[in-house]
Amino acid sequence: MLIAARFNWITLFTLLNAAVMYVLMLFAMVVGISRWQQLKATFRRGTLPVIIAVLLGLPFDLVIGWHTDMTRLTDLHIPTDMVATLRYVGVGSALVGVVFGFAFRVFQVPAAVHLARAGHEPFPGLLQGTPRWRSLGLGALIGGIGAAVSVPLFAWLRVGYGEVFKQLQELYHLDLDEPSLLWGAVFPMALGAAISEELIYRGILQQGLSKLFKQSRAGVVIAVSVSSLVWALAHIGSADNNLLKVVQIFLLGLAFGWLCRKHSLEASIVAHLSMNFFSVVVGALIG
């Protein structure tokens, strides 16, 4: 079978990253449910970032569902007339996965609010209606600088897709650089991932570790560093130069972690959105 044949350490890292993500989401759910009376005021508006992230990722999920080729996933013979039917099953499965994914992530914003240090508002614009434009602008600038440095550097060093994306393209017969797929599915997915990853790595992991270490200066440094490292390791396999990719993401994680700590989680989300936005746009322009 194809999956068994291609199971290697990159696959293991991918599965491990998924496990870490689900553990953190489960932790957020437990925090949200256990502190419901305290956090319910944040729940309605707090679902907005999750809804946006889910909707942005939906086109890519549907593409994957439609292009799932069961004849490549199993050694069993599948009649030709069944293959088309299974495409619709794949799309249906993707939609079901989206619904369950939303339900699993819906407590992330309330949990991030609970884990924030006393007197600090991680979502001043979303929950208080008073966006801090200066910090959001700083986030956009930092993300833009990250893209301006990373994209030309990766192009100069000829860094390409890693094993994860190569397997994705091979398994689903996709060309991720094809314009309609790039702008219709990959681009929005990158923006949705920016929101989701910031909620998880900065909102839950970094703030949770800071709270665990009693918000001490050393504890905050550890929290920012560990969350950045975990986030960086989660990108192993996304580029064919893993060391460079891990260093890049770790440094970005330190910057985003500082933004979250010093300003707000909204600022780090904007920075990540800016980074991914300009990375895709500039990457497409320079080929």
pLDDT in tens, 193-243: 999 999 999 999 999 999 999 999 999 999 999 999 999 999 998 999 999
pLDDT score at 65: 78
pLDDT score at 1: 37
In the 8-state DSSP scheme, what is residue 70?
A: G
d(CA 96, CA 93): 5
Task: State phi, psi for 68 to the nearest 5 degrees.
Answer: -65, 120
The Cβ of residue 182 has, within 10 Å, a number of other Cβ atoms equal to 16
CB neighbour list of residue 11: distance below 8 Å, 6 or more residues apart = none
pLDDT averaged over the chain?
A: 89
Q: Which residue is it, tokens 């991720």? A: 176
Phi/psi region, residue 237 (left: phi>0; alpha: psi -120 to 50; beta: rest), is left
d(CA 160, CA 157): 9
**Amino acid identity, position 25:** M
11-20, 56-65, 132-141, 246-255: lowest mean pLDDT where?
11-20
Q: Are 31 and 111 in contact (CB under 8 A)?
A: yes
Q: Is the dihedral of CA 275, 276, 278, 284 positive or negative?
A: positive
d(CA 287, CA 275): 17
Nearest residue to 275 (alpha-carbon basis) of 132, 142, 123, 136: 142
d(CA 1, CA 75): 6
Which helix or strand (DSSP H or E) is residue 111 part of? helix 108-115
